[in-house]
Amino acid sequence: MHTKTKNVFISSILIIILFVIITVSMTVGDFKMSPLQFIKTLFGMGNETDTMVLYEFRMPRLLVTILCGAALSLSGALLQSITKNPLADPGIIGINAGSGFFIALLMIFMPVDSSNFVYVLPLFSLIGGLITAATVFLLSSSKRGLNPMQMILIGVGLSTALSGAMIMMTSKFNKEDVEFISKWLGGNIWGDTWPFVWMIIIVLIITIPILLLKLDILNILNTHEHISTGLGIRINRERLVILIISVMLCASAVSICGSIAFVGLIAPHIARQLVGPRHQIFIPITLLLGAILLSCADTLGRLLIEPAGMPAGIIVSVLGAPYFLYLMRRRL
């Protein structure tokens, strides 16, 4: 099959899968809705109850999972590209834990009303993610460059330490805050209202256009450093810019959907297997796969345990942990 035809075919299949997940997610739950009811309500022909359930509860949650899944997968893809390490993932190298640790600090020392979470949490999450990412990169770098396996080990160690510190800090929390941190650690989609949808949309609107300008540079960075330098690429500066974008995407997503790992590992890896490493097609496929993975995990979680639901982070971890071990075995 011709490469262009193959890419169009793969993209079409993934879009169809995403639409199937959207339909299932919109129609299942405590309040059952047939596909016909869903379509009627979507086009403004539903009754008052269907409209309220669809637009106030299910649609914002679904959009959050789709957008956060896309953001996490893109964050992982960028990390893998700049480190040349297919095992790099925001959750594995500690960015999620760093974001969570700073969110916990915020809740202890600067209690914030829940109505202001959408404005304050992403900022503290970003600060924590940037500090953690910088620490991991500094500790795993030497004169010979970045050591990919050392980066993974340092990231896992730092992630464990920060998660432990966050759990220890829960002794300072009241009951509501402890419940929030528990949900956050489990990867529970808690920011499922329209303000959070707009927040993640704004982050994607800011970051994706910058990345579109960097696609050729990302392709060059995947080659040997001597080639990049010979072509006039300022490697360290470009890596720093892309790292900041990656952390922005990850931090904004985890501030809404909690500590969800492996989306940024699985989606880029599958995308690379499907369409190759060229970023012009690799990035869109990664975005689609990330959206499918997290929205599917959230829908499965709601179906498996009703009405409370199982956190999407647990579903993704059940799938992602064996996949990570498989990749580790291949690398070693």
d(CA 146, CA 81): 13
Question: What would the mean pLDDT of 32-40 be, rounded to a whole number?
Answer: 85
pLDDT of residue 208: 92
pLDDT of residue 249: 94
Q: How confident is the model at residue 116 (pLDDT cuts 50, 70, 90)?
A: low
Q: Say yes or no to pLDDT of 183 above 60.
A: yes
Question: What would the mean pLDDT of 5-19 be, rounded to a whole number?
Answer: 94
d(CA 28, CA 6): 33
Question: What would the mean pLDDT of 256-280 be, rounded to a whole number?
Answer: 90
pLDDT of residue 115: 60
Helical spans, DSSP H, in the chain: 3-27, 35-42, 48-52, 59-83, 95-109, 117-139, 148-169, 175-185, 194-221, 225-230, 235-257, 263-275, 279-304, 312-331
What average pLDDT is seen over the chain? Answer: 85
pLDDT tens digits along 66-81: 999 999 999 999 999 8
* C-alpha pair distances (Å), 157 with each of 16, 69, 82, 142, 252: 39, 25, 21, 19, 23
Handedness of CA 19, 25, 26, 32 (dihedral sign): positive
Give residues with Cβ within 8 angstroms of 35, minimum separation 6. Answer: 23, 27
What percent of the chain clears pLDDT 90, i.e. is strictly above it?
31
- pLDDT: which is higher, 21 or 322: 21
pLDDT of residue 332: 53
What percent of the chain clears pLDDT 70, i.e. is strictly above it?
94
Q: Which residues of 157-178 are buried (b: 16+ CB within 10 A; e: fewer)?
A: ebbeebbeebeebbeebeeebb
* C-alpha pair distances (Å), 54 with each of 68, 188, 292: 19, 20, 20
Q: How confident is the model at residue 150 (pLDDT cuts 50, 70, 90)?
A: confident
pLDDT of residue 224: 72
pLDDT of residue 286: 96
pLDDT of residue 331: 61
pLDDT of residue 61: 92
Take residue 136 and report the two structure tokens written for it: 């991991």
Nearest CA among 270, 228, 223 for reference residue 76:
270
pLDDT of residue 112: 64
* C-alpha pair distances (Å), 53 with each of 47, 56, 293: 10, 6, 23
Question: What would the mean pLDDT of 226-241 be, rounded to a whole number?
Answer: 77
Q: Say yes or no to pLDDT of 215 above 70.
A: yes
Hey, which CATH number is domain 3-331, 3.40.50.150, 3.40.50.300, 3.40.50.10140, 1.10.3470.10? Answer: 1.10.3470.10
pLDDT tens digits along 40-50: 888 888 788 88
- pLDDT: which is higher, 107 or 60: 60
Considering only 157-161, 302-306, 311-315, which range has the smallest mean pLDDT?
A: 302-306
Q: How confident is the model at residue 10 (pLDDT cuts 50, 70, 90)?
A: very high
Annotated domain spans of the chain: 3-331
Q: Say yes or no to pLDDT of 278 above 60.
A: yes
